[in-house]
Amino acid sequence: MHPHLPARRARLARRVLERIGPNGLIPAPGSSRVLESALLLALLTKEDVAPAAADLTRRYLKHTLDTDPPDALQCAFAHAALGDALTGSTTVRDALASFDHFSTPRKLLTFQTLLTEITDGAHRRDLPADAFDAHGQQAWLQLQMLALKTITAPRAATSDDWSRLALALRPGPPWQANHLARLVALLALRKHPTHQPAVREALLRISAEQQPGGGLPFVTGMDVFASAVAGIALTRTRPLDPRLAATADALAARQNPDGGFGFTVGVTQSDVDDTSYTLEFLRAAAPVRHARTITAAEEYLLAQRNPDGGFPTFVHGAPSEIAMTAGAVNALAPNPARRPDVERAVAFLLEADHLVERSWSRNATNALFRVTLALATLTPSAPAPLRAAARAARQRAIRYLTETQEPDGGWGHEPGDTSDPISTAYATVALAAAPASAAPALHRALGCLLAAQQPDGGYASRTDQAGPRPLLYDVPALADIWVLLALSACRPRSGRE
């Protein structure tokens, strides 16, 4: 491998360690995003409050549209909030035309309702009664869909509906750390005369939370997620550093009553993704000290597993997903008692139509790195046909990565895209665990990552995080963390480094 890898890796590890805060977690705040900023401007304009904050938001939106425009859907919201005329090319259906996902119908309804609300307010009256039903979905989605239902038919809202929406009026950080859900709920609450004064007060508080350049992020941050992934990398690079023990303690203290973990502090909605990464880290860093936490996290994951053997993101019964299932496998596999569960989940992966999934990550390499690791967890005691199928699928995944590698050694979101450090880091993790035949591709990938390291030792990258899918949002701290995970996976093996 590259002669400069050990020194560069050590420098990045120091940088990530230095990010750990007094609470034991790595602060990972979100950056402003156009969608939430446009909704905030629409609310400030409609309620005629905080004119200075409204001007700041306008400047943020105009500057972003001019210098770094996001996807067509968010651009449509920005233009609508700014009072610009929308063209046919900026409709919701056009913007989501390429998004093939089980949640697409709900996304169409959501964004069309919101865009209508901040423009002419002429909502459809022919929607079926269950169009906005989100029973059994994640907490913020339930609030969001209730708000959309109320926006379209406020007179039909019950007293219980209004009480649930009032979560958006709480002082302090947004409920479940979700700015989008809070803003959508405020759009609904302003339609009730009793709540309108409280909406205006809430808008004044939110205006004070704007980031320096204006605007709001999608979520406040991803401190739990970032700390867990960083912890996995640091247990390989700096295993004896006492700050790792503090991070393990901090994460264990934030386990939800159901045994799972949310993406940041204060989020009570557990999910498979954060729980899997946190479980991996705790098992590596403090398996005895946090044995009870580890067991509870395993039990949470198994409670989410679907009859098909796969895992959803948030709730049992939602569609199983490739990356979530692979992540759960990687977290559960070290426990011999979970071997049957791991084998069932691997079988789900092998039965999938494809392993290239773009979901919470909008690139192909995220799911593929998790899948390649998951397929390698089978032990000799697993059924021979399952092991053979897993080997073949792993070979196909590695072949896909080597065939889509860009000339500079990296990967982007799609084949042919400009390489970025995060997409490249994911692929590097997979190649580092691949057979020796992938060594040339791994060497080029490391060269790409090391060339992208900035003078301060850190990384800047195009984001891949999506939410609501497929809209991108940025958590800049993750660039350093994902690259460190990749570099930490590149250890001496078979006589080569």
- Give the residue among 268, 270, 225, 176 at the shortest CA–CA distance from 27: 225
User: Which residues partner with 29 through β-bridges?
Assistant: 221
* 366 contacts 324 by C-beta, under 8 angstroms: no
Position 204, amino acid: L
**Residue 419 DSSP code:** P
Distance CA 384, CA 490 (A): 29
CB 401 within 8 A of CB 355: no
In sequence order, what are the beta bridge partners of 216?
A: 33
Q: How far is CA 6 from CA 3, 289, 386, 422, 459, in A?
A: 7, 30, 37, 19, 17
Distance (Å, whole) CA 414 – CA 42: 34
Catalytic position from the list 271, 273, 274, 474:
273
Give the C-alpha separation, 17 to 8, whole Å. Answer: 14
CA distance 262 to 274: 6
Q: What is the helix (H) or strand (E) element at residue 75, kind and residue range?
A: helix 72-82
Q: What number of residues does the chain have?
A: 497
Instruction: Scan for tokens 């001019």, then name that residue.
Output: 66
- Are the CB atoms for 151 and 117 separated by under 8 Å? yes
Tokens of 260: 């799972």
To the query of whether residue 273 is one of the catalytic residues in this protein, the response is yes
Longest dimension (CA), the chain: 73
Catalytic residues: 273
